[in-house]
Amino acid sequence: MAKNPNFKGKGSQDEKPKFVSRRAGTPAWQSSVGVYIAGQEHVDEMDLVAIEMERRWGVDRLRLLVPLELREKFDRQRYLVNQAIWHGDLEMVRRETSRMVKAYQALDMAAQAAGKQPIEADVWEVALPDGSVAALVKTNAEAHKVVSEGRKMAVYTLDEIGRLLYGFPALSKAKEVFGGIEVTAVRMNVGDPLHAVATSELALDQDVEDLFDPFDMA
């Protein structure tokens, strides 16, 4: 549910919030304030589990540590929970978020059973002239493990540093010492199959025709 644009906040002349009427295309579970609150509680509970898994295993890493068959089931459930949140009613949200929690727990147990280790980030920090801190990590999975401890901090991965150097060639030009051959691109991350899906409105087995190109992962 979108933030109420009519609520001006405490201290304004009109402090009473006004409920925004339902817009066309809004999912059924957001049809009223009461139904929305009930549904959001389930979404929040699912998000808490997802956050804990990311803290333990790293961002987008856990699904890659389990057998392919289990990963496929997990990704299908991710699609179904997206479908419920964007297009479903309260019962769909309750059902699919509950299943998503169980899916995370199944991956967690499978990864542990396979002897996989939770991620421990190698972090390099440097203080910047404005008093903020830049933290450098190798991958996106490690970025979530960085703790700011109340400091003003920005976290960069090696891939992001590479893009910055490419975007500002003057930075890297000053560091050039030796010539040599060009290095081909090295993939640092595995793509997410759901990024190629244009909408979560379709059923899992529904023909998609020309709605998206599954081979276009750019």
pLDDT at 89: 96
Q: Token match 């964007």: residue? A: 86
pLDDT digits (tens, 9 = 90+) for 152-201: 888 898 888 888 888 887 776 776 666 666 656 666 667 788 887 778 88
71 residue type, one letter: R
Contact 154, 134 (CB under 8 A): yes
| pLDDT tens, position by position, 105-114 | 999 999 999 9
Handedness of CA 127, 130, 133, 139 (dihedral sign): negative
User: What pLDDT, in 10s, does the model give residues 23-51?
Assistant: 567 899 998 999 999 999 999 999 999 98
Q: Which pLDDT score, from 0 to 100, does residue 179 have?
A: 61
Residues listed for the chain: 218
Decide which of 91 and 203 is more confident.
Answer: 91
Among 9, 6, 116, 17, which Cα is nearest to 61's?
Answer: 116
CA distance 1 to 31: 9
Percent of the chain with pLDDT over 90: 36
The CA-CA-CA angle for residues 216, 78, 88, to 5°, reads 110
3-state SS class at 135: strand
pLDDT of 216 strictly over 60: no
Among 142, 140, 69, 81, smallest CA distance to 106 is for 69
Distance of alpha carbon 151 from alpha carbon 126, whole angstroms: 12
Average pLDDT over residues 124-133: 86
3-state secondary structure of 28: helix
Q: Do 109 and 123 contact (CB within 8 A), yes or no?
A: no
Q: Is the per-residue pLDDT at 7 higher than 80?
A: no
